Amino acid sequence: MVTDFYDRLSPFYHLIFQDWEESIEWQGKVFDELIRNEWGDVTTILDVACGIGTQSLGLAGKGYRVTGSDLSASAIHRAKREARERKLSIDFSVADMREAFSHHRSTFDILLACDNAIPHLLSDAEILRACEQFYQCLRPDGGCIITLRDYDRFERSGTRVEPYGMKIIDGVKHIIFQVWEFKGMVYDLAMYFISDDGSTRGETRIFRTQYYSVSVDRVVSLMESVGFRDVQRNDDVFYQPVITARK
């Protein structure tokens, strides 16, 4: 379900942002500053949930040697195209984050898993498996950076509608929102993209997946259990809570 979600979503993913190009630049700046403050002068980054390249492109633009992987072949195809258009050298490939070290077989200074990628793993056991792979992907004293929603802010029951707003491109209005339907800690998500060209027809696309509404504290605990140290939460860096940790 996750692969199909992002394979179908990848041509439209940039519409989630008010200005994707601006977000690439901003996120590159945010994570560059975080990395320099926490780990100093490092060079290699592995982005294990790179999607169409939002963080990878921004950080490569800051001079890092970036390797990116994602479960979605369509997202990787677009990320490669976006990198070529920007004349950035990034090694992109298709891989499941739960097999990160098995796939990359190398160690890095920094590992990223951003934009609520971890909660696509639908149990503690699956997150633990991913964290074990993350740990192996890092050199000694290397850093892990994870961002995810603060699910403790939400009632984990019933149905929620989460608006993403509207943007106009070439005269077409794009209205985006999500519908969450909880079934315990796991919820079904439907993302709606409505394109209104002013006619009476328009077009609606619906993308479906599932998430595990795991708490930030639980992810911190799972990271510590595989050996990560100095695991900390920061709510003042990004639009989601940021977890940082050292190997």
To the question of domain 2-150+215-246 being in CATH 3.40.50.1370, the answer is: no
At 199, the pLDDT band (50, 70, 90 cuts) reads confident
pLDDT in tens, 76-108: 999 999 999 999 999 999 999 999 999 999 999
pLDDT in tens, 125-158: 999 999 999 999 999 999 999 999 999 999 999 9
Q: Where in the chain is the domain with CATH 3.10.450?
A: 152-212
Q: Where in the chain is the domain with CATH 3.40.50.150?
A: 2-150+215-246
pLDDT of residue 6: 95
Give the mean model confidence (pLDDT) for residues 182-189: 96
Give the mean model confidence (pLDDT) for residues 109-134: 98
The 3-class secondary structure across the chain, one letter per residue, is: CHHHHHHHHCCCHHHHCCCHHHHHHHHHHHHHHHHHHHHCCCCEEEECCCCCCHHHHHHHCCCCEEEEEECCHHHHHHHHHHHHHCCCCCEEEECCHHHHHHHHCCCEEEEEECCCCHHHCCCHHHHHHHHHHHHHCEEEEEEEEEECCCHHHCCCCCEEEEEEEEEEECCEEEEEEEEEEEECCEEEEEEEEEEECCCCCCEEEEEEEEEECCCHHHHHHHHHHCCCEEEEEECCCCCCCEEEEEC
Rounded Cα distance between 153 and 142, Å, is: 31
pLDDT at 1 over 80: no
pLDDT of residue 201: 81
Task: Give Cα 185 distance to the centre of its chain.
Answer: 20
At 202, the pLDDT band (50, 70, 90 cuts) reads confident
pTM, two decimals, is 0.96
**Sign of the Cα pseudo-torsion (133, 109, 146, 3, in order):** negative
Per CATH, the number for 152-212 is 3.10.450
